[in-house]
Amino acid sequence: MPAHALEVTDLVKSFGKNRVLRGIDLSLDYGSVTVLMGANGAGKSTLVKVICGYHAADEGSLALAGQAFSPVNASDAIDKGVVTVHQSIDDGVIPDLDVANNLMLDRLATKGSGFFVRETKLRQEAQRLADSMGIDVDMKSRVANLSVADRQMIAIARAMARKPEVLILDEPTSSLSATEANRLFTLIDRLRDAGVAVLYISHRMSDIRRIADRILCMRDGAISGVFEQSPLDYEAAVTAMLGHRMNEVDFSAQGGSEPVLELKALKLTPTAAPIDLDARDGEVVAIIGLLGSGKSQLVEVIYGISQAHSGEMRIDGKPYKPESVQQAVQRGVFMSPKDRGTNAVVPAFDISNNMTLPFFSNFSTASFLRGKRLRARTSEMNTQLGVVCQSEADAIGTLSGGNQQKVMIARWLMEPCRLLLLDEPFQGVDIGARRDIGKHIRASANGRATLVFMAEIDEAIEIADRIVVMTEGSIKGEHLNQNIDLAALISDISGSESMRSGQSL
């Protein structure tokens, strides 16, 4: 057997003048889980796309099972033994088909499989595959009706039906609860024991501590650290990923002045513990938690999308119980939602109209928009947030993901408010755009309270004066972002008391 399942040597990839990969060297071993860590924009996605045949390398070489490996496309990579399960779960399944057909689809599509399908035999083979991977679902169930976790398991099982040498999992727990993630980890243990080389892309500490045999860190298109000596040095890995210690920030945490938002004995569900929280003028508070922690439900309650079970809210000392988004906005509560492509961007509008959409009335005389004033204000906001474009009249679709996100954030920063809610403001942006957005949010914080809802620790530390951890619909802990105790913070998020006892990150 070759020494490595996959070996990458001096890999280089550029897009125009932008060198995205700068001489990458890495290897993946049989029966081992290698975690690849990297902040947004580090080059992880490009590296995976080269390995999977989406992009051709400019320089360097790849070897699979000791043989030269140069896939011409994704299908070629799969045929040769490299299979990827992407972050978007439905990229790996056909939602409208049942479980059995999803599991056996690739086998049915192979040459020589025959024109007629014997349904009984197909379901038996699908059941054997599911059993071998510990998946307990009805083979006749429509995949679209299954839980996120079950769809993820089926995507991985479908990948394993191809008997790959290398399995790449891209942020596989991003849509899973803690319980569902544990099911996935058990499955990964099975794959490791079966000799599969797994490349697991994540920088979630709870994931990494559970499944990593070794850690590779990327920063600015290069490998910035390799950690394989037991016990793994998680703190050093985070430092290698970021280029600085996670708890080093370039601002002093502010306590704010008068309370803007006050939550008193607020219960999101009948069984959740009551929430007592305030956010002060000039303060940026990060609300952080894993999927299912309740942070998404909390932002919906504050913004009038849904109602709390009990308790009260106040804005500037006055009772606040919005029954709609319109009522929330009227009280000076603005929100930038996550998933900009689905919830925020209007593809048919240009940059100016996208940015100013909620405030058209401010740029109108009678029923006519004052285009010159609207464009001037857009240009001002573009400059403040560093939006890269040719003109305010450019179609929003011509911008990169990071610049589209800047436009969506600018939409809710261009007019004053008392409370700004930002749901995953760094979603899908590179590290440069992230820093631009974060700096402007902090620079404009006076005159309002800001709540930022997010899942990633490093992003919270970059922007927040105070970090509030949520689990099971209630507050687990609060941390002032000044010489922060990372062990205690991670313990609150993951529920691991051992972290508080002083063990290494």
Using one digit for the tens of pLDDT, what is the confidence trace for 310-347? 999 999 999 999 999 999 999 999 999 887 777 888 88
pLDDT bracket for residue 244 (50, 70, 90): low
pLDDT bracket for residue 430 (50, 70, 90): low
Termini Cα distance of the chain: 35
8 Å CB contact between 279 and 451: yes
Query: Is residue 501 scored above 80 in pLDDT?
Result: no
Higher per-residue pLDDT: 406 or 333: 333
The pair of structure tokens assigned to 207 is 């994931």
pLDDT bracket for residue 89 (50, 70, 90): low
pLDDT bracket for residue 178 (50, 70, 90): low
8 Å CB contact between 60 and 10: yes
Higher per-residue pLDDT: 31 or 161: 31
pLDDT bracket for residue 500 (50, 70, 90): very low
Rounded mean pLDDT, 435-444: 86
- pLDDT score recorded for residue 161: 74
In the block, tokens 């930002």 appear at 422
Neighbouring-strand partners of residue 83? 167
**Host H or E run for residue 302:** helix 295-302
Query: Is residue 119 scored above 80 in pLDDT?
Result: no
Query: Is residue 492 scored above 70 in pLDDT?
Result: yes
SS (H, E, C) 207-233: HHHHHCCEEEEEECCEEEEEECCCCCC
82-85 and 466-471: which strand pairing?
A: unpaired
pLDDT bracket for residue 235 (50, 70, 90): confident
pLDDT bracket for residue 67 (50, 70, 90): very high
Using one digit for the tens of pLDDT, what is the confidence trace for 11-26? 999 888 778 899 999 9
Across 232-236, 319-323, 398-402, least confident range = 398-402
Using one digit for the tens of pLDDT, what is the confidence trace for 474-487? 999 999 888 787 77
- pLDDT score recorded for residue 487: 75
- Round to whole Å and give the CA distance between 256 and 279: 8
**Which of 338, 414, 422 lies closest to 377 in space, CA to CA?**
414
- pLDDT score recorded for residue 495: 62
- pLDDT score recorded for residue 505: 38
Highest mean pLDDT: which range of 107-111, 136-140, 381-385, 419-423: 419-423
| Domains with residue ranges and CATH for the chain | 6-242 (3.40.50.300), 248-332+417-492 (3.40.50.300), 345-416 (no CATH)
Number of other residues whose CB lies within 10 A of the CB of residue 340: 22
- pLDDT score recorded for residue 112: 46
- pLDDT score recorded for residue 503: 38
pLDDT bracket for residue 499 (50, 70, 90): very low
Query: Is residue 115 scored above 90 in pLDDT?
Result: no
The pair of structure tokens assigned to 481 is 């972002």
- pLDDT score recorded for residue 432: 65
